[in-house]
């Protein structure tokens, strides 16, 4: 009688919670070096807008008990743990256009955005 043991399949690694483009990292470095030197950027997701969810960014002095600490390109941002499932694999960028500049998110979990681009749904 022969017995074969089946080995568990290796688990596929999850993508990083969030990564930063060089433009986003450079802008955050500049902000951290100036007026926000003792603060960290905290990213969360709130329910609002026509599609249901929107990114929210705020400055905090330290990580909260439920915050995930993400360090990429030598820059640290905090992510609200409640938002982490919605943000897995997200790329944070910084765009500067003729009439506007700001952080943008390329989120592979988004299923759609509202017409104005302010909110999204998963």
pLDDT, tens digit only, all 122 positions of the chain: 555 566 777 776 667 899 999 999 999 999 999 877 789 999 998 887 666 788 899 999 999 998 999 999 999 999 999 988 888 999 999 999 888 899 988 888 776 665 555 656 56
Confidence at residue 114, expressed as pLDDT on a 0 to 100 scale: 59
pTM equals 0.78
Domain 18-109, architecture per CATH:
Sandwich (2.60)
Phi, psi of 33 (to 5 degrees): -75, -25
Confidence at residue 61, expressed as pLDDT on a 0 to 100 scale: 93
Rounded Cα–Cα distance for residues 12 and 98 (Å): 42
Confidence at residue 48, expressed as pLDDT on a 0 to 100 scale: 73
Rounded Cα–Cα distance for residues 77 and 71 (Å): 6
Confidence at residue 67, expressed as pLDDT on a 0 to 100 scale: 94
Rounded Cα–Cα distance for residues 103 and 99 (Å): 14
Q: What are the residue ranges of helices labelled H in the chain?
A: 22-33, 84-87
Confidence at residue 8, expressed as pLDDT on a 0 to 100 scale: 72
Buried b (16+ CB within 10 A) or exposed e, 23-51: ebbebbeeebeeeeeeebbbbbbeeebeb
Confidence at residue 15, expressed as pLDDT on a 0 to 100 scale: 72
Phi, psi of 39 (to 5 degrees): -120, 165
Using alpha carbons, select from 106, 84, 87 the residue that is nearest to residue 95. 106
Using alpha carbons, select from 58, 54, 62, 51 the residue that is nearest to residue 112. 51
């Amino acid at each position: 009688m022969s017995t074969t043991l089946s080995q568990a399949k290796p688990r596929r690694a999850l993508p990083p919670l969030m990564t930063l483009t060089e433009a986003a990292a450079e802008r955050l470095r500049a902000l951290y070096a100036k007026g926000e030197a003792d603060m960290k950027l905290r990213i969360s997701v709130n329910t609002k807008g026509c599609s249901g969810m929107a990114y929210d960014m705020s400055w905090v002095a330290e990580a909260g008990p439920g915050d995930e600490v993400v360090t990429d390109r030598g820059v640290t941002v905090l992510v609200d743990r409640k938002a982490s499932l919605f943000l897995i694999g997200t790329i944070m960028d910084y765009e500067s256009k003729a009439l506007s500049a700001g952080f943008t998110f390329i989120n592979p979990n988004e299923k759609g955005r509202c017409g104005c681009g302010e909110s999204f749904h998963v």
